[in-house]
Amino acid sequence: MRKVPLSRFLIDEQWQSQALPAELRLLVEVVARAVKAISLNVNKGALAGVLGDAGTGNVQGEAQKKLDVIANEILLEANEWGGHLAAMASEEMEKPHPIPHRMPKGEYLLLFDPLDGSSNIDVNIAVGTIFSVLRCPEGVDPADEKAFLQSGTRQVCAGFAVYGPSTVLVLTVGRGVHSFTLDREVGSFILTREDIRIPEDTKEFAINASNQRFWEPPVQRYVSELIAGKTGPRGKDFNMRWVASMVADVYRILMRGGVFLYPRDTKDPSKPGRLRLLYEANPMAMIVEQAGGAATTGRERILDVVPTALHQRVAVILGSRNEVEVAARHHG
Ligand code: F6P
Ligand code: MN
């Protein structure tokens, strides 16, 4: 098998297809380098003293893990001097982080969830990093969160890493979805799946069923029909999987199909869903659509949602196209 490293793949994208500006290629390289450093920390675990709580909270009132803070710092530090960014925004920071004056600047905005699946850090289950790249609109101060309030259709690149049995990087620059596996000895990401396609049909679903009593009627109906299996209206049995790390659940869906739901519910009426639009739902929706799947809130395409706040939440239903369509139809 011819081994194609990420750098080579990106250069091919830049020169052959003209689809990838050099600046964006270099930005992806910097993010990949940060991902390698995070992977190293995740893998060392207790040996590096990185497990457990940081003793602080983030803007969303969630307790931060040490690794949330470490991963955030690694991404900030690596990208600050890359020269391709105007500003960054993160799940772990209330306000955008503009590139300091003494550093070279570029036209892009980088958003990230530095460590997705935090509840799994201390129990040795896969976690990951999610990121999204936008262009900074002209005439808007990148330190102002307004610069980031763009719908998902404006993303020029989206990706995520899974720190699992192997470290995998999934990437799209708007021309299909590809995945790369980290070769630790060599220290580079190697292309291992090109042009990933999500099967249109599935027999697998993912939802946190402990929230059932809070679900709205369309989701109640949809999931009860899945559980009814062969004897219900769907006429086939479904299996359920829930890792509680979105990165791992979405990676499984990319590999073998499935539908993932974190719907709007009535648990906390101030939150229209659990997942954050700009650095969780949007990048995952772009990746899933680029792989032939679908991503909706139940009521509209996720990528069309017009953001009003940096940390806003949104309902998410994504995965195998035909299954997402059934769930969306139930929403009327
Ligand atoms: O980032 C939010 C997240 O950790 C996702 O990775 C995951 O899908 C979800 O929350 C897990 O939620 P719950 O704790 O309700 O299972
Ligand atoms: Mn997350």
% of the chain surpassing 90 pLDDT: 90
Mean pLDDT of 166-184: 97
Placement of tokens 């040795």 in the chain = 124
CA 118 to centroid of ligand 1, rounded, Å? 8
How large is the C-alpha radius of gyration of the chain? 19
Lowest-confidence pick of 58-67, 217-226, 301-310: 58-67
d(CA 103, CA 80): 7
| 260-290 residue pLDDT tens | 999 999 888 888 899 999 999 999 999 999 9
Question: What spatial distance separates the first Cα and last Cα of the chain, rounded to whole Å?
Answer: 48
Question: Within a 10 A sphere around the Cβ of 179, how many other Cβ atoms?
Answer: 22
CA torsion sign for 170, 245, 208, 331 is: negative
* Ligand 1 pocket mutation, candidates 111, 113, 116, criterion most atoms within 8 A of CB: 116
The residue among 82 and 242 whose pLDDT is bigger is: 242
B/e letters for 255-272, b = 16+ CB within 10 Å, e = fewer, are: eebbbbbbbbbeeeeeee
Q: What is the dihedral of CA 175, 191, 171, 182, to 10 degrees?
A: -170
| 224-261 residue pLDDT tens | 999 999 999 999 999 999 999 999 999 999 999 999 99
d(CA 325, CA 88): 34
Q: Are 308 and 278 in contact (CB under 8 A)?
A: no
Is residue 245 in contact with ligand 1, taking CB distance under 6 Å? yes
In DSSP terms, 172 is beta-bridged to 158
Residues in the chain, how many?
Answer: 332
- Whose alpha carbon is nearest atom 12 of ligand 1? 244
- Domains annotated for the chain, with CATH where assigned, are 6-193 (3.30.540.10), 204-329 (3.40.190.80)
CA 277 to centroid of ligand 2, rounded, Å? 11
